[in-house]
Amino acid sequence: GQNIDQPTEMTATEGAIVQINCTYQTSGFNGLFWYQQHAGEAPTFLSYNVLDGLEEKGRFSSFLSRSKGYSYLLLKELQMKDSASYLCAVSRNSGYSTLTFGKGTMLLVSP
Amino acid sequence: DVKVTQSSRYLVKRTGEKVFLECVQDMDHENMFWYRQDPGLGLRLIYFSYDVKMKEKGDIPEGYSVSREKKERFSLILESASTNQTSMYLCASSQPQGESFEQYFGPGTRLTVT
């Protein structure tokens, strides 16, 4: 089976840095996605990591350690609009592009 | 821009009714997916399709069926709706697994079964 864990909720202050962790246990691991979902809206793609290391994309960065089954999403210079749910999702070497999602981390950014 | 559209944003149906949820994508994607999203449970895969007329069960297929007669359209069918199928339903599409296979999601259909 698969197990994906991420914190349920986090709070942070505008302008700060926050790190959202995701741990996973799965056979045939291929890569890891991060999605952002604002309340009442569809998830939108943020990042995809298949190799170990850090991928930077503007204010957002994502890190993967395949040997530790661990990823994190780093958000810098937080803005109020970053208040959203952040979903970690794992893809497997199944031949299909299916994803298994974690339950999401609700991030609340306060002034 | 990839666009995934769903037929309704909100739907209210009665127990026992047959319900059709429609999804259309305009990016010529091979793969299409149906999820449901519930508080505390996250996104769970119901069914997916990797080609026209091809379908595979996801993690929670019971009580659902799907149809993919055309590449751009993927339908989710609730044969006899029940109250435990009240949920947010999200459709997604993607390319096959490879270099760039992120899933693009539709806006969702909030279904209430009374």
pLDDT given for residue A1 in this prediction: 63
Indicate whether A92 pLDDT > 70: yes
Whether the Cβ atoms of residue B81 and residue B19 lie closer than 8 Å to each other: yes
A97 in B contact zone (CB under 8 Å)? yes
- Residues A51-62 have a mean pLDDT of 96
- Cα distance between residue B89 and residue B106, in whole Å: 9
Q: What is the pLDDT of residues A67-79, one digit of tens each?
A: 999 999 999 999 9
* Nearest alpha carbon to residue B89 among B2, B16, B8, B3: B8
pLDDT digits (tens, 9 = 90+) for B56-89: 999 999 999 999 999 999 999 999 999 999 999 9
Of the candidates A91, A94, A111, A97, the residue with the CA atom closest to the CA atom of residue A34:
A91
Q: Is the pLDDT of residue B2 over 70?
A: no
B-facing residues of A in 24-83 (CB < 8 A) are 30, 33, 41-45, 48
Structural contact between residues A24 and A88, judged by C-beta atoms closer than 8 angstroms: yes
The 3-class SS string of B38-81 reads ECCCEEEEEEEEEECCEEEECCCCCCCEEEEEECCEEEEEECCC
Q: Mean pLDDT over residues B81-110, rounded?
A: 92
Q: Is A101 on the interface with B (CB under 8 A)?
A: yes
pLDDT at B83: 98
Q: Rounded distance, CA B71 to CA A75, Å? A: 37
pLDDT at A95 over 80: no
Task: Give which of B48, B50, B97 to mutate to test A binding, by max A Cβ within 10 Å.
Answer: B97
Q: What is the pLDDT of residues B3-36, one digit of tens each?
A: 999 999 999 999 999 999 999 999 999 999 999 9
Interface membership of A2 toward B (CB under 8 Å): no
Q: Is B56 exposed, middle or buried (0-12, 13-18, 19+ CB in 10 A)?
A: middle
Work out the average pLDDT over A30-41. 95
Q: What is the 3-state secondary structure (H, E, C) of B7-28?
A: CCCEEEECCCCCEEEEEEECCC
Task: For B85, list phi and psi in degrees, rounded to 5.
Answer: -95, 5
